[in-house]
C-alpha cells in the first residue's frame, strides 16, 4: 500500500511527501519537473518523472505500487498567467485531473485529496468566507479548480470513491527542519518576494493599493504555514481511511494580516529595511480574503501549530538563506 502524490516535487507537494514519510507511509511522487525540483523529493520516496494526465502511466503506477490514495497537487497556479492562457490552464488543471480521476476509478483507488483554492470564491462579499459562500471565480485559474471540484463530486456520487477538497488560502513558510521550502526563483508570493528583497536578491518590492478599507489601507490575506497545510492533508487522509464521507473544506487560520504587516515582519526578522514602492490597486485584487476555518477543525480534528506570523516569516527567510548558500557554493 502506498500514497501517490502528484506534483510532489513542488513547494506544497514536497512538504506533503515529508509529512507522509514522517508518518511511515510509502510514497510515490509523480511530477514532470516543469516547476518542481528533483532535489525536493527525499530519497525515501519513489520519484517517477511523468505527467499526472498520462492515464496509462498513472494506471501502471497504481498497479505497480499498490496505490490506495492519491493526493493531487500537480497543476498551474499563477493567476495572471491563467488570464493570458486560459486554455492552457483548463488543459493542465482540469483535463488532466479528469484523466487522473479516470485512472483512479478504473484501478479501484478509493481516496483522493485535491489541492483546491480560495480563488473559487472570487471576491467574497463577506469575511471570513465560509465553504457555502457563493462560488464566483474571477480567473481561469479559480474556474479550473472549481471545475475539478465539480468533477470530484460527480465521480464520488457515481463510484466507490471519497474525497476531500481543501481550499487553500495564502500558503507561506518552509519546513521547520529546513528540508524544503519555496524554491521557484520567480515566485510571486508576498512573503517569498519580501524575503528575497531583504537578502538583496530584488531591489525591493511593490505594494499594490494603499486605499482599501483596512487598518493600514493595504489588502488583508490569511497566511497559512505550509507544514500546517501538509498536516491538514494528513488529517484528511486519516479521515477518509476511517470511512469519512466526501467534504470540501477551507484551509486557513481564520485571521489575516495586511500587506504592510507582513512586510514589517520580514524587515524585523531580517534586520533589513528594504525598499517598498507604493503603487495603485491592481484589477482583480480583493480587499480582504480570510477563511472561516471552524469546519476543518471540527471535521478533521486539525489544529494548527505554526500560525504565528513571525514563525512563518522566520522560517521562510531561513529557507531563502539556505538557497542562497547553495547557489553560492554551486
pLDDT tens-place string over residues 130-184: 999 999 999 999 999 999 999 999 999 999 999 999 999 999 999 999 999 999 8
Cis peptide before 123 (omega within 30 of 0): no
pLDDT band at 188 (very low <50, low <70, confident <90, very high): confident
Beta bridge mates, 279: 208
pLDDT band at 330 (very low <50, low <70, confident <90, very high): low
pLDDT tens-place string over residues 47-98: 999 999 999 999 999 999 999 999 999 999 988 899 999 999 999 999 999 9
Residue 300, classified by CB atoms within 10 Å of its CB into exposed (0-12), middle (13-18) or buried (19+), is buried
For residue 104, the model assigns a pLDDT of: 98
For residue 213, the model assigns a pLDDT of: 95
pLDDT tens-place string over residues 231-267: 999 999 999 999 999 999 999 999 999 999 999 999 9
Count CB atoms within 10 A of the CB of residue 54.
17
Is residue 3 over pLDDT 80? yes
Task: Output the pTM of the full model.
Answer: 0.96
Residue 314 CA to residue 176 CA, distance in Å, equals 10
Minimal CA–CA distance to 13: which of 2, 29, 34, 33?
29
For residue 2, the model assigns a pLDDT of: 97
For residue 239, the model assigns a pLDDT of: 98
Q: Contact 45/17 with Cβ under 8 angstroms?
A: yes
Residues assigned a catalytic role? 141
Rounded mean pLDDT of the chain?
96
pLDDT tens-place string over residues 295-313: 999 999 999 999 999 999 9
More confident residue, 203 or 327: 203
Sheet containing strand 288-289, edge to edge, reads 257-258, 220-221, 288-289
Question: What angle (nearest 5°) sits at the alpha carbon of residue 272, between those of residues 271 and 273?
Answer: 125
Residue 67 CA to residue 71 CA, distance in Å, equals 11
Count CB atoms within 10 A of the CB of residue 94.
19
For residue 308, the model assigns a pLDDT of: 96
Q: Contact 115/168 with Cβ under 8 angstroms?
A: yes
Cβ density class 129-159: b for 16+ within 10 Å, e for less: bebebeeebbbbbbbbbbbbbebbeebbeee
For residue 273, the model assigns a pLDDT of: 98
Q: Contact 72/100 with Cβ under 8 angstroms?
A: yes
Is residue 316 over pLDDT 90? yes
What's the average model confidence in pLDDT over 314-319? Answer: 98
pLDDT band at 199 (very low <50, low <70, confident <90, very high): very high
For residue 184, the model assigns a pLDDT of: 86
Minimal CA–CA distance to 93: which of 23, 156, 164, 144?
144
Is residue 17 over pLDDT 70? yes
Question: Distance between terminal CA atoms of the chain?
Answer: 38
* Beta strand extents in the chain (DSSP E only): 2-6, 27-31, 46-49, 67-72, 111-117, 162-168, 170-172, 205-208, 220-221, 223-225, 247-251, 257-258, 276-279, 288-289
Amino acid at each position: 500500500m502506498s500514497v501517490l502524490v502528484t506534483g510532489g516535487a513542488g513547494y506544497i507537494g514536497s512538504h506533503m511527501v515529508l509529512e507522509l514519510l514522517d508518518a511511515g507511509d510509502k510514497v510515490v511522487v509523480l511530477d514532470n519537473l516543469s516547476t518542481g525540483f528533483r532535489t525536493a523529493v527525499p530519497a525515501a520516496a519513489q520519484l517517477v518523472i511523468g505527467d499526472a494526465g498520462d492515464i496509462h502511466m498513472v494506471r501502471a503506477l497504481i498497479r505497480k505500487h499498490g496505490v490506495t490514495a492519491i493526493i493531487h497537487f500537480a497543476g498551474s497556479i499563477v493567476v495572471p498567467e491563467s488570464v493570458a492562457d486560459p486554455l492552457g490552464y483548463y488543459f493542465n488543471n482540469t483535463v488532466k485531473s479528469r484523466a487522473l480521476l479516470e485512472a483512479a476509478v478504473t484501478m479501484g483507488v478509493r481516496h483522493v485529496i485535491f489541492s483546491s483554492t480560495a480563488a473559487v470564491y472570487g471576491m467574497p462579499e463577506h469575511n471570513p468566507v465560509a465553504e457555502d459562500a457563493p462560488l464566483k471565480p474571477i480567473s481561469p485559474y479559480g474556474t479550473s479548480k472549481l471545475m475539478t471540484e465539480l468533477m470530484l463530486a460527480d465521480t464520488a456520487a457515481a463510484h466507490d470513491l471519497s474525497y476531500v477538497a481543501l481550499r487553500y488560502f495564502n500558503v507561506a513558510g518552509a519546513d521547520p527542519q529546513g528540508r524544503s521550502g519555496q524554491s521557484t526563483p520567480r515566485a510571486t508570493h508576498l512573503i517569498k518576494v519580501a524575503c528575497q528583497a531583504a537578502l538583496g536578491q530584488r531591489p525591493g518590492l511593490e505594494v499594490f493599493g494603499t486605499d482599501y478599507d483596512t487598518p493600514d489601507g493595504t489588502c488583508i490575506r490569511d497566511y497559512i504555514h505550509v507544514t500546517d497545510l501538509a498536516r491538514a492533508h494528513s488529517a484528511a487522509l486519516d479521515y477518509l481511511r476511517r470511512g469519512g464521507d466526501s467534504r470540501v473544506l477551507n484551509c486557513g487560520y481564520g485571521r489575516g494580516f495586511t500587506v504592510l504587516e507582513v512586510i514589517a515582519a520580514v524587515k524585523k526578522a531580517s534586520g533589513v529595511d528594504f525598499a517598498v514602492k507604493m503603487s495603485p490597486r491592481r484589477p482583480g485584487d480583493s480587499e480582504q480574503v480570510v477563511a472561516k476555518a471552524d469546519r476543518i477543525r471540527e471535521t478533521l480534528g486539525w489544529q494548527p501549530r505554526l500560525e504565528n506570523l513571525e514563525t512563518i516569516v522566520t522560517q521562510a527567510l531561513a529557507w531563502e538563506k539556505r538557497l542562497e548558500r547553495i547557489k553560492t557554493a554551486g
